[in-house]
């Protein structure tokens, strides 16, 4: 490994395995120190450029430390998120949960620093197998089943990715992870895209996300909302920039997530649907592929991690304090959780792109890039989606959760209160960053992959944003009674997957099982019978024909031997007498034959 480069994943992995041995009053300082040291390491690495940590393995060269501007900006936000997420769950005593969270973050950083497909795949799978524990640790009635489905789906995605990597290696002869040929994609390119797209929750590969994130533990969801989808966004930006189909898929995601978020009754599932929608903006930006669009996608990924983690912290605090996550079981909590309400509101305004809040500095970059690329339909639909985002996230979430009708039971209302100090500190830091990046995005723009002169603080953008937010507010006021949360089951594309799975199970249990049973019976009654008849014939033939000939010959040899044995009395005189007698008979016979 080259001098000067320290892999941040290594610190998190080693630190994770030491967590069980750090007990008592040292546990919390240690939990905060390791992610902070990781962040410092990433900051130090950001001064480097090139390939580091190059290791020869068999016939390949593995690159564990490729560093450029795209790597640096994603690594910085992931390391920062490891600090905020750990701080938020600092009071959690379960060491295994911290281990899973750190291994998950280490996997994400490993993918971001990987310069080859093999090391990328290893860290990719590390993310999948460690993050599932953040769901199982919720220990809710559905957590185990949801965790297994999450693991199964990501395993399938990993197999697709591995298949694409193998085909790609056979095609080009190396494992270097770089931009793929998106103008003439072959099978390997599509398989790799499916593998990345599943983690990015691209519709229709998204169904794992809403149920998994809503079933995770209160602090596990804070990690989940940051790493999986945004690491996939990084991989798409690295390998698939400019692929046209991503524009279509991104716009579909942006609108699809809005529709389900508007109808959702669970506050954390609403945020999960919101991730599908917001990642759609990033995917569309990557599909547009211009420098401004890539900058917008990367900036929105960074900002999305900030405000989405803040929102999951706010709703996680509600879950942690009340044990409830449904609008129909909550309401009016501003009186009991005023600080949590304030930070959640900052997150709501940030995701809505309200002026001087986080997304105001990023979402418009993607939309502007679409107009500059003369793709008018796409940015118009994305603007429509942004209006919907303010409707469900800027208005519905804070109104029905902290105001509106109080649906709390007596025990829920009694338990409701602002959470512990570490959770509030984490939310304070998240909210501060959301406001800072919204008011002064220059420090973020300086980190983006391409030099940018874009500024969001123009009068046109300000007025345009106010118009969109005003339209959404008017729609909310007029349609509020139709937006009242209802406890119901929302049918998504997973309905199709489940029914296809049930149909396959029915096919296996009934027609295929019947066919297998019928074939077994036919084989038993017909095949076995015929086989036995043939076997008996050959047995008879073997016994009476083969064995008869062999045994008969043997018996003939034996009889002749017995007769000859009589002549062998053991006395030399008798033997000589018999020999000479026989010779004399033969001689006399010969003489008579000559005379005649």
DSSP 149-165: HHHHHHHHHHHHHHHHH
User: Can you give the C-alpha Rg of the chain in angstroms?
Assistant: 38
Q: Does residue 314 belong to any structural domain of this protein?
A: yes
Joined tokens for residue 551: 């045994």
pLDDT score for 139 = 85
Q: Does residue 379 belong to any structural domain of this protein?
A: yes
**CA–CA distance, 530 with 37 (Å, rounded to integer):** 77
Q: Does residue 333 belong to any structural domain of this protein?
A: yes
Joined tokens for residue 224: 């989940």
* Of the candidates 266, 207, 276, the residue with the CA atom closest to the CA atom of residue 493: 207
**CA–CA distance, 422 with 337 (Å, rounded to integer):** 15
pLDDT score for 483 = 86
Q: Does residue 281 belong to any structural domain of this protein?
A: yes
313-351 burial code (b ≥16 CB/10 A, e <16): bbbbbbbbbbebbebbbbbbbbebbebbbbbbbbbbbbb
**CA–CA distance, 340 with 505 (Å, rounded to integer):** 46
Q: Does residue 254 belong to any structural domain of this protein?
A: yes
Q: What is the 3-state secondary structure (H, E, C) of 173-214?
A: CCCECCCCCCCCCCHHHHHHHHHHHHHCCCCCCCCHHHHHHH
Residue 444's contacts (CB-CB under 8 Å, 6 or more residues apart) are: 299, 302, 303, 361, 437
Residue with tokens 């309400």: 341
Question: How remote is the C-alpha of 242 from its chain's centroid?
Answer: 23
CA 31-222-129 angle, to 5 degrees, is: 80
Residue with tokens 């410092």: 40
* Of the candidates 289, 265, 261, 264, the residue with the CA atom closest to the CA atom of residue 275: 261
Ranges of residues in the chain whose predicted pLDDT is under 70: 1-3, 563-573, 596
**CA–CA distance, 398 with 404 (Å, rounded to integer):** 9
Give the domain extent around 368: 241-481
**CA–CA distance, 393 with 37 (Å, rounded to integer):** 34
Question: How remote is the C-alpha of 581 from its chain's centroid?
Answer: 104
Q: Does residue 405 belong to any structural domain of this protein?
A: yes
Strand extents, DSSP E, 181-327: none
Q: Which helix (H) or strand (E) holds 475?
A: helix 459-483
Q: Which residues pair with 266 in a beta bridge?
A: 326
CA distances to 38, 72, 174, 230, 585 from 234, rounded to whole Å, are 19, 11, 21, 6, 113
Q: Does residue 34 belong to any structural domain of this protein?
A: no
Contact assessment for residue 226 and residue 308, using Cβ atoms and an 8 Å cutoff = yes
pLDDT score for 366 = 94
* Of the candidates 402, 301, 215, the residue with the CA atom closest to the CA atom of residue 394: 402
Q: Which helix (H) or strand (E) holds 52?
A: strand 50-57
Contact assessment for residue 280 and residue 363, using Cβ atoms and an 8 Å cutoff = no
What's the DSSP call for residue 246?
Answer: H
Contact assessment for residue 80 and residue 47, using Cβ atoms and an 8 Å cutoff = no
pLDDT in tens, 187-233: 999 999 999 999 999 999 998 999 899 999 999 999 999 999 999 99
**CA–CA distance, 5 with 49 (Å, rounded to integer):** 10
CA 79-81-87 angle, to 5 degrees, is: 110
* Of the candidates 297, 210, 203, 205, the residue with the CA atom closest to the CA atom of residue 252: 203
pLDDT in tens, 409-464: 999 999 999 999 999 999 999 999 999 999 999 999 999 999 878 888 899 989 99
Q: Does residue 454 belong to any structural domain of this protein?
A: yes
Tally of structural domains, the chain = 1
**CA–CA distance, 33 with 41 (Å, rounded to integer):** 12
SS3 call for 222: helix
Region of residue 217 (phi > 0: left; psi between -120 and 50: alpha; otherwise: beta): beta
Contact assessment for residue 319 and residue 327, using Cβ atoms and an 8 Å cutoff = no
pTM of the model: 0.84
Residue 61 phi, psi dihedral angles, 5° rounding: -110, 120
**CA–CA distance, 139 with 119 (Å, rounded to integer):** 32
């Amino acid at each position: 490994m080259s001098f000067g480069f320290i892999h941040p994943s290594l610190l998190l992995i080693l630190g994770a395995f030491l967590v069980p041995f750090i007990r008592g009053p040292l546990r919390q300082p240690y939990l905060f120190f390791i992610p902070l040291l990781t962040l410092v390491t990433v900051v130090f690495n950001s001064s480097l450029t090139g390939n580091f940590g190059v290791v020869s393995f068999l016939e390949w060269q593995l690159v564990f430390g490729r560093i450029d501007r795209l790597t640096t900006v994603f690594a910085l936000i992931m390391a920062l998120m490891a600090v905020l997420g750990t701080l938020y769950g600092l009071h959690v005593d379960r060491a295994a949960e911290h281990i899973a969270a750190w291994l998950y973050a280490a996997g994400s950083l490993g993918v971001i620093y990987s310069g080859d497909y093999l090391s990328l795949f290893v860290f990719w799978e590390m993310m999948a197998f460690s993050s599932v524990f953040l769901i199982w640790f919720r220990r809710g009635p559905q957590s185990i089943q949801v965790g297994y489905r999450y693991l199964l789906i990501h395993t399938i995605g990993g197999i697709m990715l591995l298949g694409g990597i193998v085909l790609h290696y056979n095609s080009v002869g190396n494992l270097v992870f770089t931009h793929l040929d998106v103008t003439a994609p072959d099978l390997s390119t599509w398989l790799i895209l499916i593998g990345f797209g599943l983690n990015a929750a691209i519709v229709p590969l998204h169904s794992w996300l809403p149920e998994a994130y809503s079933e995770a533990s209160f602090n596990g969801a804070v990690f989940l909302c940051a790493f999986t989808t945004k690491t996939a966004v990084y991989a798409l930006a690295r390998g698939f920039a400019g692929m046209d189909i991503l524009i279509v898929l991104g716009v579909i995601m942006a609108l699809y997530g809005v529709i389900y978020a508007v109808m959702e009754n669970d506050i954390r599932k609403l945020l999960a649907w919101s991730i599908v929608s917001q990642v759609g903006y990033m995917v569309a930006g990557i599909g547009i592929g211009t420098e401004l669009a890539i900058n917008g996608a990367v900036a929105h990924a960074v900002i999305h991690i900030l405000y989405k983690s803040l929102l999951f912290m706010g709703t996680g605090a509600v879950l942690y304090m009340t044990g409830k996550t449904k609008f129909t079981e909550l309401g009016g909590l501003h009186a009991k959780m005023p600080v949590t309400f304030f930070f959640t509101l900052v997150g709501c305004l940030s995701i809505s792109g309200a002026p001087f809040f986080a997304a105001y500095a990023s979402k418009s970059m993607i939309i502007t890039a679409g107009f500059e690329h003369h793709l008018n339909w796409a940015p118009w639909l994305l603007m429509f989606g942004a209006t919907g985002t303010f409707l469900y996230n800027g208005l519905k979430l804070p109104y029905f959760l902290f105001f509106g009708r109080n649906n709390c039971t007596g025990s829920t209302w009694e338990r409701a209160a602002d959470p512990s100090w570490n959770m509030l500190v984490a939310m304070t830091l998240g909210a501060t960053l959301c406001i800072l990046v919204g008011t002064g995005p220059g420090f973020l723009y300086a980190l983006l992959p391409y030099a940018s002169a874009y500024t969001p603080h123009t009068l046109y953008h300000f007025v345009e944003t106010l118009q969109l937010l005003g339209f959404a507010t008017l729609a909310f006021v007029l349609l509020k009674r139709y937006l009242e949360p209802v406890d119901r089951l929302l049918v998504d594309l997973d309905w199709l997957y489940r029914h296809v799975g049930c149909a396959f199970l029915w096919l296996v249990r009934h027609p295929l099982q019947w066919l297998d049973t019928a074939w077994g019976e036919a084989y038993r009654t017909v095949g076995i019978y015929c086989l036995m008849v043939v076997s008996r014939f050959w047995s008879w033939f073997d016994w009476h024909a083969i064995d008869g000939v062999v045994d008969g010959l043997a018996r003939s040899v034996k009889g002749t031997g017995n007769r000859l044995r009589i002549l062998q009395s053991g006395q030399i005189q008798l033997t000589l007498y018999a020999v000479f007698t026989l010779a004399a008979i033969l001689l006399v016979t010969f003489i008579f034959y000559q005379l005649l």
